[in-house]
Chains A and B, each alone.
Chain A
Amino acid sequence: MQKKTLLNLNLELYEDKLSNGLEIYVVPKNVNGIYATFSTKFGSIHNTFVPIGEEELITVPNGIAHFLEHKVFEQEDETDPFTFFSERGADANANTSQIKTTYLFSGTTFFKENLNYLFDYVQSPYFTDENVEKEKGIIEQEILMYQDDPFSRIYEQSLFNSFVKISHRLPIAGTIETIRKITKEDLYKCYNTFYHPANMFVVVTGNVNPDEVYDIIKTNQEKKSFPSSFKTVIRHNNEPDHVFKKEEILEMNVTIPKIAFNYKFNISNLNYLKRHIINYIGLFFDIKLGLTSSFYEKMQNDNILTSGLEISYIETDKHLLIMLFADTKEPEKLIENIQRELENLEISEEEFNRKKKLLLSSYLYMSDNIYQINHKIMNNIVKEGEVITDAYQEYSNYNVQELNDIINKLSFEHHNYVIIKPKNN
């Protein structure tokens, strides 16, 4: 395996690619735990595509990547993967995001068997009309659980109202209506198209020997055959800069109103790498509205906010959506104040340098935890196509001039809000 140093972290990264296209990444660390993830670059946004062996674009029901994640656990011989891992002392799970689906386990014992089985169960799909039907009741309850959660509701509504055409606007789990339409044929089409090893990668972090990991996976994969050519054609709609809906007020069974205030930026014409643009914009919002801002001090003293705004983001091909979440008794006043604060885009060098420390230290904190290291690598692979080994150096080179250059080129005109108000009973 090829060895690279993760600079400033005292960690090494080993990487390689098998002949079937599967990429392998290993970061050994002197801990007891081992964390292994096996992911496909298939998530909730990939719902219009040309299935493998076909020529026409099809659109599958929303929520299918997540549904498929549940069904991959179904095995023809009726072994339950959870039982397999449990018998070997490991915790197994899986999750689906907008851009990928990941199968995982963690544990300290029976590593070789567990790793082999991770590939074996994911690479042996078995869908029947009956087992697909049975899953619908379970996923319906999962969706209802999210619908009762004010944060999930406001988050999903924000995405739906901010984007106009792209699938990022739809909930990852789908809706009760869309998942009821899913058939086993749909699942096989998605599986055969996106679960090809060339569209997948494995990341192992923790108490392992990289060569051993490589040998286990190589031997495992050599026993299986896959179509030799692999190509995905996925349609992404062209997303306009404006938001779908500017204002929305929902009612829910809450006592304190919730708000999401969202800015949609077109970042496709800026002359920087996307990851730097996102970091800079994140720093900007944190400086302007975070816990050390005069804005937050005022909001706290006026009892508009009692704890900090939560700042989150979603990136798409062309856009960055910055989402500001808060619980507040005065949503309208909060919006007014945020907008007023952002009329002045100036940032002092002193503040910038203090915030830069956060970026650097969060990278170091991350490197102490095998779960976080693994997630960082997965994110890098899906978003950057490679692992960034000198991120610490990159952050060190950040400066206030670049920040100002980026911020001054942004248009702040596309924004919207979603408010959840208590129901009047």
Chain B
Amino acid sequence: MKYKKYPIGPYNLHIINTDKFKTITIFFNFKRKIVKEEITYRNILRDILFQSSKKYPTSRLLNMEIQELYDIKLENRLHHSGHYSMISFSGQFLHEKYTEEGMIDKSIAFLCELIFTPNVSNRKFDSQTFINSKNHIKEKLESYKEDLKNYSFQRMFEVMDEKSVISYRPIGYLEDLEKINESNLYKYYENVIKSDLLDIFVIGDVDNTKIKNMIMEKVPVNTLKKPSKSHYVTHKHYRKRARKVIEDDDINQSRLVMGCKLDKLTDFEKKYVGAVYSFILGGGPDSKLFKTVREKHSLCYSVNSNIRTISNLLIIYAGIDSKDFEKAEKLIRKEMKNIENGKFTEEDIEKAKLTYYNSCKEILDSPYNIINTYVSYEYLGMDLLEERMKEINKVTKDMVIKFSKKVHLDTIYLLKGDSLDAEKNTP
């Protein structure tokens, strides 16, 4: 595997050369600082560009072309990375040695066509495409509460700090959607092409010079941008006692989300110690939370913790019966306290390291995961895989204890449903 970065000027091209996969993957990442009012624009924009284009003016024609290209796998995504909003467009397709000659060129040209030559006339997006896309986003916004786990996470962020960027809904807002039309969306699109920082990644068995020439020909992005600032979010306030909010809902299972703020982490803690801590606390079926809350006390099916270093947060989740809320909270707090008090073993650390090492190795089996390591290297200052596999070994028990003292439980949110036993008593 060989990695090379080409700083073209207005954007960077990264090519990772490997013959390990039957596919070639190309990934465009546009990013800028998050502005709350722009989130919905960005959502509809990522959607509309994959609905039609100048050459394929309806979604039907566009999908026919996808099939002609041996089912090129298109994906678009909008997500928040700390202070930054990232829109990504990607295409994964079979190498032409498995299909027919010329398919590499055709597939890359197709993806560029969708991103850079939308179905626009008189500086407006095509109205049917716009309506379809708007309907699609509208339905997603209207139904976003239906994913109860996601919704309870979102509510926890809002309760934690509604002014902070961490609480912005990555899916956008209904009231903003109403303000968007064919022309202001196109204006916004032009602005994205002009001002967003762009990185393009290509991975597969490719000829670098050919790819570079092709990208330079097909990507009409030519403005130089100011370099990116830090993605990392820091918190202004730390609560001494956690804020507790309970909201009732007409559901069977209650969702408990506990949000912890992380305080003044060192670079090494961000990269490595946090991962080890979270793995020990709630990283999987061998974790403290799983063994106590689920296996010993039978309170839940799902319980886990995950760390979001970019937002300086650690989040604990459990799906429980509402009558067990206090008991579950107590048990979770106790497990966190135990780590602070050093009540865990060297073996716990070794397991976490080995798991981390294994996951690094498995990253190399997936084109998207390889691209992601370069994205986090570029944007977040994370280490590359070889470095990671070495560095993780430096984590010690003392470091984990020290880290645990920087974990401040801040917000406890319960989306409260019926209780099973209460239900049993009703006729």
Residue numbers of A with Cβ under 8 A of B are 30-33, 80, 82-83, 85-93, 106-109, 134-142, 144-145, 147-150, 176, 253-256, 291-294, 296-297, 300-301, 303, 306-307, 327, 329, 354-355, 357-358, 360-362, 364-365, 367-370, 423, 425
Contact = CB atoms under 8 A, between A and B. Distances in A.
Contact of B60 (A106, A176, A253, A296): A296
Contact of B285 (A92, A136, A254, A329): A92
A32 B286 contact: no
Interface stretch (B108-116, B158-166, B245-253): B245-253
Contacts of A145: 252-253, 301-302, 319
Given A87-B347, A306-B135, A306-B139, A141 B319 contact: yes
B333 interface: no
B187 interface: no
Closest 3 CB pairs of A and B: A137-B298, A89-B354, A86-B286
Interface stretch (B66-74, B81-89, B212-220): B66-74
Nearest to A257: B143
B19 to A, nearest CB: 10
A251 B415 CA distance: 20
A104 to B, nearest CB: 13
A253 B136 contact: no
Nearest to B128: A301
Given A109-B358, A354-B68, A32 B364 contact: yes
Interface in B130-187: 131-132, 135-136, 138-139, 142-143, 145-146, 148
B416 to A, nearest CB: 13
B354 A292 contact: no
B59 interface: yes
Contact of A138 (B300, B357, B366): B300
B405 interface: no
Contact of A144 (B23, B59, B253, B285): B253
B339 to A, nearest CB: 17
Contacts of A139: 301
B20 A303 contact: no
B190 interface: no
The interface size bin for chain B is 35 or more
Given A87-B351, A254-B146, A255-B145, A364 B98 contact: yes
Given A86-B286, A138-B301, A141-B320, A303 B71 contact: no
A85 B351 CA distance: 9
B321 A91 contact: no
Interface in B333-355: 347, 350-351, 354-355
A46 B73 CA distance: 38
Nearest to A298: B60
A355 B71 CA distance: 9
Contacts of A253: 146, 249-251
B71 A358 contact: yes
Contacts of A82: 284-286, 290
B121 interface: no
B60 A365 contact: no
6 contacts: A108-B361, A141-B299, A142-B301, A300-B132, A361-B99, A364-B98
Contacts of B320: 141
B298 A327 contact: no
A90 B358 CA distance: 8
B250 A423 contact: yes
Contact of A357 (B59, B71, B145, B286): B71
A109 B249 contact: no
A358 B64 CA distance: 11
B17 interface: no
A292 B365 contact: no
Contact of A87 (B20, B135, B302, B354): B354
B363 to A, nearest CB: 9
Given A31-B20, A83-B286, A145-B302, A291 B143 contact: no
A89 B67 contact: no
Interface string B402-427: 00000000000000010010000000
A44 B287 CA distance: 29
Contact of B132 (A32, A87, A108, A301): A301
B371 to A, nearest CB: 15
B361 A32 contact: yes
B268 interface: no
Nearest to B423: A176
With a 10 A CB-CB cut-off, give which of A30, A83, A89, A106 has the most chain B CB atoms.
A89
Interface in B199-218: none
A92 to B, nearest CB: 7
A300 B133 CA distance: 10
Given A87-B351, A138-B301, A300-B132, A31 B253 contact: no
Nearest to B319: A145
A199 B67 CA distance: 40
A33 B362 contact: yes
B422 to A, nearest CB: 13
With a 10 A CB-CB cut-off, give which of A147, A327, A368 has the most chain B CB atoms.
A368
Nearest to B297: A137
B289 to A, nearest CB: 13
A370 B365 CA distance: 9
Nearest to A358: B71
A291 B66 CA distance: 10
Interface in B60-105: 60, 63-64, 67-68, 70-71, 73, 94, 98-99
Interface string B279-309: 0000011100011001100111110000000
A89 B23 contact: no
Contacts of B284: 82, 86, 91
